[in-house]
Every structure is written in structure tokens, then in C-alpha cells.
Amino acid sequence: MSVAIGTLSLVIASAKKAPRYGSGRLSGKLYVDGHDTAVFRKAEIGFKPATPRQGRALLRLLDASREVYNASLQERRDAYEHTSQTRIALFDQFKQVTDLRGSRDDVLAWGIQPVRWAMQRVDDAFGAFFARVKDGATPGYPRFKGPGRWNTVGFDEPKGWKLNLDGTKKRATPHLYVQGLGDIPLSKAAARQFKRYIARGGEATTLTLTRANREGTAWRACVGFDKVAVTKTEPELGPDSMLGIDRGVAVLVAGAAAADFAGDPGQLLHHTDDLKQRLEVLRRKVERLQAERARYEQYGNRLRRLSKQIAKAHHKASNLVENWARHTAKQIVAENAVVVLEDLNFKNMTKSAKGTVQDPGKNVAAKAGLNRSLLEGAHGKQAQWVRVKAEEAGRRIWGVNPAYTSQRCSSCTRIDAVGRVSRDVFYCGHCGHYEHADVNAARNIRALGHAAEQAWVAAGRPLLERPKPRLRRRKVDAASVRQQRLSKTTTGPGRL
Ligand SMILES: [Zn+2]
């Protein structure tokens, strides 16, 4: 049930059924209603192959799954380009896996799961492709993957691998067993991290292995736990506390209890400045290294070393942003019962650097410079983390249409074109109210969320429908599969 409350179209939902892959995860209208009792969580660890043999097997597994991906893509392309325009379903390709027995046992050395996983990725790519076609966007046909563009293999079911966190008879230390790879040793810290989810009822259901460097000497393993029980906590600022977040230059925030709008001073998150400073230092470093690298025309040790240093600085910057986003989100959720975010799915939210007629250049200063994309990413990541943390703590998250929230006076609610005297200060010509522009906007966002919350409570707190994942699977029924089989013109199992 999707409820339109007043002029707001609001969807409360849980992230539990969100797609696990791609940008669809926790984006758009995905909000948390505080009703979940269990959630899906991932834990990622780094590892090095235990033996040279295991290292080689990992690279072979990567190659095999890439071959499956490319072959599945080829089959679908051929079928689609044929005059009959046959569409091959994922189900059709799954059925061919058994045909590999005997003919291509090398591909099945790690079990069926990695093969299916690669086929699933093709299906995702086609799902996204057809969705783009439907939206009239630039379609971008799914591409074949070269060795440099394929770094992950996965298992969507707990088959062919097992976490042995207390060791086994053969090996007393914690390890991850994978068919065809043997035992991958786990550090004590990694085992502890996994055990935390298991202690909360989690069941290890998915596994991905990602090559972390080109040589394949460093890898990451990501284990997905289903049915992890949520640990509901009480909001530190009380059951009525509600926070509005404006995605501005200085990021935030107007806080305190929803009932007490007038006396609330509002606040800006201080570590935003700190983050900006540290990113600035890294940006200068990258610029210096890049200028130095530009002087080297030919490949050599010096150039390679510089490239590595640049990559390292970029990595460090993205880690800074990630940590900042997680920490602030944790704090926000711990303090507040309800959080109101801008719903960025509204088309009018596309803020250009120059600004619009209504909102002249709000972000000009922040958008100039190389850190722009990183800071923009910080806002998105923070919203993601707020949702993740809120889901676990049993909080509610509202998304509201942010139109005019930066031009409206939060005191007298009038919209005034001259309401903004500078980038940082909002001044109202009607009532004389003035304050930081981002705080004013955050107050307006909170007021919209407050109105939504009241309407929702008045309606008897209905459970609202979860939004549909962006990648929709086509339903396969037996009749259509038979039909497809009859009309299918491409060769089947021989392709792989
Ligand atoms: Zn006013």
C-alpha cells in the first residue's frame, strides 16, 4: 500500500527485500519503518591465499566464472539478434549447467554455485539494460568482460563452502572452506566479526570472493548473513525526537524534539569541516603526484611507483568518507527516534553547480574543486548508513520532496525569492528571521517529515508497501519456458 499524504508521496519500507547488488541497494525511496525483526548483513574480510596452489586455483575460478559470464552473454545476444528476437531466460541458462557435466568438468570444479552466480550477473545486466530501454535512457548493451574487468566470483547459496569458525578435526584454527580451493585461514578478528552475526541468529548464506590486486596475491571475502536479529534501542533524545537532514554544503542539521520547533538552536555537524580539511590535504597530494607523473613519458619503475601512490591516496580519501559517513549516521540514529531525509528521487532535486533560478548557486563553492564528487558521495553514503543503522535500531525514516526547502522561511513558512542573502545565510524579508541557510533548510525538511508522521499516525500507523527493486526478475512460468524452448534457435549446451 502506497499512501499519498497531502502533497507528499511517501513510502515507508524496509531494506530487507532490497536488491543485494548494484546501485539499487538502499537508494531512492527505500525507507525504514522500524518493524523488521531480522535483517541481512554482510561482513567483509581481507585474506591472502594460504598456498601458491590455492592462489592459482582462485585465479582459475575467476577465469572460469568470467568464461561462463561471456558465454551466457553470447547466447543471449545471438538469440536476441536472430530474427525471432528470442529472449533467453535465466531459468533456461540454469538448466544448461547440468549439461556441463562430463564435457566441461573444469568449470564445475568449484561446484554449481559460481556458474549460476555468473549467469545471474548476466541476467542482472540484461534486466538493467531493458529497464534503461524502457525509461528511454541511453541503453548501453551488456558488454563482454575482459580479464581486467572481472574481479569477483560468488555463491548465492550456502553450498560448496562453509565457515568453520571453531576449526575442525583436521584444522584447529578458524577457516573458510571452499570446494576446489581448500581451507582459507581466517584471522581471529575475522572469526570474531562473523561470530557476532551468528550469535544474533544470523545464518551465513552468501559468499563473494574478490581479487583485491592485479597479481591476485590479495583477496577479499564477503559473507552475507541472513536472519540477523535486530537490537532495538531507545533514542537518546526521547521518543519524540526528530531530525531533519539537509544535503547542503555543510551537510546538516536541525535537531531536538519535534514538538519543540521554535526553541531549537539547530546544529551543524562539526566533523564535516574536519573531513573537508583532510580531503583537501589528500587532494593537494594527488595533484602534486599527478604533475610529477606527467613529466614521465615512458613506462618505468618511477612512473609505476607514482601511479601506485596516487591510487593509494584515492583509496585513503574514500576510506575517510566512508568512516565519516558511518560514524555520523551511527550518532544520528542513536540520538533520534525519527529521521527525515530528502528524497532524491524527485527529479527537481538535480542540483547543478550553477544552481537554478529558484536556488542560485547554493553549492557553487563546494562543487568547485576535485573533492566535489567525494563530498557528494559522502552525503549519499551517510544516507545509506542512516538507513542501515535505523533498520537495526527500530527507527523510522521518512523521505520528503525537498522542493523549496531552501527558499522557504522555517519560521513563518513563506517562500521568498530574496530570502537568501548569501550562500550561508538565510534572511526572511517578512518576519526578519535569519539563520544558517542549511539549518533553515533542514528545519523545513523536518517540518515536512513531522507532517507526514502525524498523518501516518492519524491513519492508524498502516504498514506501507516496500518499494520494488530496480532490477525486476522476469517471472518464468512453465508454459512460456516450453514455448521458448520450441522457438529457440540457438545452440544450447555446446556454447559453454
Ligand atoms: Zn519568515
pLDDT tens readout for residues 310-367: 989 988 988 888 888 888 888 889 988 888 888 765 443 334 433 433 444 444 444 3
> Percentage of the chain surpassing pLDDT 70?
72
CA atoms within 13 A on the CB side of 384: 18
Can the peptide bond before residue 253 be classed as cis, meaning omega within 30 degrees of 0? yes
Q: Indicate the helix (H) or strand (E) that contains 208.
A: strand 203-211
In tens, the pLDDT along 217-246 reads 999 999 999 999 988 889 888 888 888 887
String of DSSP letters for 377-446: HHHHHHHHHHHHHHHHHT-EEEEE--TTTTTB-TTT--B-TT-BSSSSEEE-TTT--EEEHHHHHHHHHH
DSSP 143: -
Cα of 258 vs centre of ligand 1, distance in Å, is: 19
Cα of 366 vs centre of ligand 1, distance in Å, is: 27
Cα of 356 vs centre of ligand 1, distance in Å, is: 22
Question: In this structure, what C-alpha cell is assigned to residue 68?
Answer: 561462463
Contacts of 1 (CB under 8 A, 6+ apart): 462, 463, 464, 465
Cα of 299 vs centre of ligand 1, distance in Å, is: 62
Question: Could you tell me the sign of the dihedral formed by the alpha carbons of 292, 294, 295, 299, in that order?
Answer: positive
Of 67-71, 210-214, 449-453, the range with the lowest mean pLDDT is 449-453
Residue 60 near residue 49 (C-beta atoms within 8 A): no
In tens, the pLDDT along 30-43 reads 367 677 788 888 89
- The mean pLDDT of 68-89, rounded to a whole number, is 82
Q: What is the pLDDT of residue 217?
A: 93
Print burial letters for 346-380: b (CB count within 10 Å at least 16), e (below 16): eeeeebeeebeeebeebbeebbeeebeebbbbbbb
151 vs 361: CA distance, rounded Å? 40
Q: Report whether pLDDT(132) > 50.
A: yes
Q: What is the pLDDT of residue 428?
A: 85
Q: What share of the chain is helix, strand, coil (3-state, %, to 5)?
A: 40, 15, 40
List C-alpha distances in Å: 271 to 255, 281, 320, 385, 423: 16, 15, 11, 16, 20
Q: What is the pLDDT of residue 429?
A: 83
Strand order from edge to edge, sheet including 396-400: 242-244, 338-342, 396-400
- The mean pLDDT of 140-169, rounded to a whole number, is 91
Confidence of residue 196 (pLDDT cuts 50, 70, 90): very high
Cα of 272 vs centre of ligand 1, distance in Å, is: 28
Cα of 433 vs centre of ligand 1, distance in Å, is: 5
Cα of 430 vs centre of ligand 1, distance in Å, is: 5
| Ramachandran angles phi, psi of 40, nearest 5° | -100, 130
Cα of 253 vs centre of ligand 1, distance in Å, is: 19
384 vs 243: CA distance, rounded Å? 16
Confidence of residue 157 (pLDDT cuts 50, 70, 90): very high
155 vs 111: CA distance, rounded Å? 9
Cα of 436 vs centre of ligand 1, distance in Å, is: 14
Q: E-assigned strands of 117-185?
A: 152-155, 161-164, 175-178, 182-185
Cα of 417 vs centre of ligand 1, distance in Å, is: 12
String of DSSP letters for 326-347: HHHHHHHHHH-SEEEEE-TTSG
Q: What is the pLDDT of residue 388?
A: 85
Residue 366 near residue 374 (C-beta atoms within 8 A): no
Taking alpha carbons only, the member of 275, 272, 263, 274 closest to residue 245 is 272
- Please report which residue ranges of 100-215 form alpha helices under DSSP H: 113-135, 188-199
Cα of 443 vs centre of ligand 1, distance in Å, is: 13
Q: What is the pLDDT of residue 61?
A: 95
- The mean pLDDT of 81-95, rounded to a whole number, is 77
CA atoms within 13 A on the CB side of 258: 22
Q: Report whether pLDDT(478) > 60.
A: no
Question: In this structure, what C-alpha cell is assigned to residue 51?
Answer: 598456498
Taking the CB of residue 298, how many other CB atoms lie within 10 A of it? 6
Residue 379 near residue 251 (C-beta atoms within 8 A): yes
25 vs 388: CA distance, rounded Å? 11
Confidence of residue 17 (pLDDT cuts 50, 70, 90): very low
Cα of 364 vs centre of ligand 1, distance in Å, is: 25
Question: Could you tell me the sign of the dihedral formed by the alpha carbons of 305, 306, 312, 316, in that order?
Answer: positive
Q: Kindly tell me the burial class for residue 488, based on how many C-beta atoms sit within 10 Å of its own C-beta (0-12, 13-18, 19 or more).
A: middle
What is this structure's pTM? 0.69
336 vs 234: CA distance, rounded Å? 9
Print burial letters for 189-212: b (CB count within 10 Å at least 16), e (below 16): ebbeebbebeebebebebbbbbbe
Q: Which residue has the higher pLDDT, 315 or 15?
A: 315
> Percentage of the chain surpassing pLDDT 90?
23
Beta bridge partners of 70: none
Cα of 268 vs centre of ligand 1, distance in Å, is: 21
Q: Report whether pLDDT(472) > 50.
A: no
Confidence of residue 493 (pLDDT cuts 50, 70, 90): very low
Alpha carbon 150 to chain centroid, angstroms = 19
Cα of 271 vs centre of ligand 1, distance in Å, is: 30
- Please report which residue ranges of 82-153 form alpha helices under DSSP H: 90-96, 113-135
Q: Indicate the helix (H) or strand (E) that contains 374.
A: helix 372-393
Q: Report whether pLDDT(66) > 80.
A: yes
Cα of 412 vs centre of ligand 1, distance in Å, is: 4
Residue 374 near residue 315 (C-beta atoms within 8 A): no
Cα of 411 vs centre of ligand 1, distance in Å, is: 5
Cα of 263 vs centre of ligand 1, distance in Å, is: 15
Residue 236 near residue 398 (C-beta atoms within 8 A): no
